[in-house]
Amino acid sequence: MYAKRLNKVYPVNTPQEKKDYLSRGFDIVDNEGNVIVHSPQKTVPFSEYARVLKENQELKAQLGLGDPDGPDERDPLEGMSTDDLKKYAADNGIDVGSATTQKGILKKIREAEAADSGDDGDDEAPKTLNPGNDGSPKMGSGSPVQA
């Protein structure tokens, strides 16, 4: 049995060594090079995950499998941890500012994605400009400014 990562291969002689190598990102392979255990440290970029998820949904639709309104249709961002959301934002060039909660980071990501698609995500009526006492425009709620 061996521990393998990239071009490094080390012999594994004890269960403790196996555990240590797995925790450091190594796969455990047999003498023929077949993977016995994948490292739990392996990650997949979110863009790749999203691509595969979409492909899976399209194939299920072609085959008539699955419920289109079922769990496969949910937003994959909803179930992500704050660390995963921060990584997704960084990978996609999204600034989350000072957001630290899952809800706050998710809001920043949605705002950035809506801005990219041309939708600002703001369904409120637009604010109007009202002249101030000095004649300069000031942002207001639509009612005239009292002098």
Q: Over the chain, what is the mean pLDDT?
A: 78
Q: How far apart, in Å, are the Cα atoms of 138 and each of 23, 30, 146? A: 58, 72, 12
All structural domains of the chain with their residue ranges: 2-37, 43-74, 76-118
pLDDT, tens only, 19-69:
999 999 999 999 998 999 988 888 888 888 889 999 999 998 888 876 555
- Cα atoms in the Cβ-side hemisphere of radius 13 Å centred on 80: 22
Residue 12 contacts residue 21 (beta carbons within 8 Å):
yes
Q: Give the CA distances from residue 65 to residues 38, 50, 73, in Å, rounded to whole numbers and listed in that order.
A: 30, 19, 13
| Contact predicate 71/79, CB 8 Å | no
- Confidence (pLDDT) at 139: 46
Cα–Cα dist 22/130, whole Å: 64
CA distance 76 to 84: 11
